[in-house]
Structure 1
């Protein structure tokens, strides 16, 4: 498995996030020696999500995911966590772009309450 698929996935997901909420702010946080680039975070009136790469997946963790509607079942990780929920995307997964963008919008709406 090459690293290129992860970079392509990250760019696609980043594009979806920005398309869903053009005012969202991306920052790198939690820099440390083992991860000098930090973790990409996306915020609008509070943390919306983080975007991380692992050997076998790209993970988008929604800070308040447990309180978001997910009728199309985009969330597939951290399903029993008290507050957060995540979307793990592997090389061959098909991401429902429209449903993912709806989650981004819903996360921002929760922050703006």
Structure 2
């Protein structure tokens, strides 16, 4: 099955605030760069990539977690990261029920992640 369709189905299955939040996150990510690819990996997780993984999303009982694969390498000017801050590579944003997604800041962070992946690819 097509990854985008699987993500659509996941969002539809999350009939509470998590589905809406995941849909808003997805909208920001795909708006950030026209070459972002949607994938479906690791037991049913939405993954977005462009010359490497950008981020993976997971809906948990009380939050939606958006984990950036190379988050530790990103400046995160708007200070969106609020989880996994001690890790060497990954950083995450935990969205809770009353949180706003903050589309401009999230889109900028995704663009920064794409730029990181492109720089990393050129360095090879």
TM norm. shorter chain > 0.5: yes
User: Which residue of 89, 94, 119 maps to 1:88?
Assistant: 94
For the aligned residues, what is the CA RMSD?
A: 1.2
1:3, CA displacement in angstroms? 4.3
Whole-angstrom CA distance in 2 between matches of 1:11 and 1:93: 14
Equivalent in the alignment of 1:19 = 31
CA contact (8 A) 2:24 2:101 kept: no
Residues paired across the two proteins, number: 106
State the TM-score, normalizing by the size of structure 1. 0.89
4+ residue stretches of structure 1 with deviation over 2 A? none
Whole-angstrom CA distance in 1 between matches of 2:41 and 2:29: 17
Equivalent in the alignment of 1:101 = 107
In structure 2, the gaps of 5 or more residues are 1-13, 120-124
Whole-angstrom CA distance in 2 between matches of 1:74 and 1:82: 17
Whole-angstrom CA distance in 2 between matches of 1:105 and 1:45: 13
Cα offsets for 1:50-92 (capped at 9, x unmatched): 0110000000000000010112211111011110100000110
Equivalent in the alignment of 2:16 = 4
Question: When you count helix as a share of all residues, which structure comes out higher?
Answer: 2
CA contact (8 A) 2:21 2:101 kept: no
Whole-angstrom CA distance in 2 between matches of 1:51 and 1:30: 11
In structure 1, the gaps of 5 or more residues are 32-37
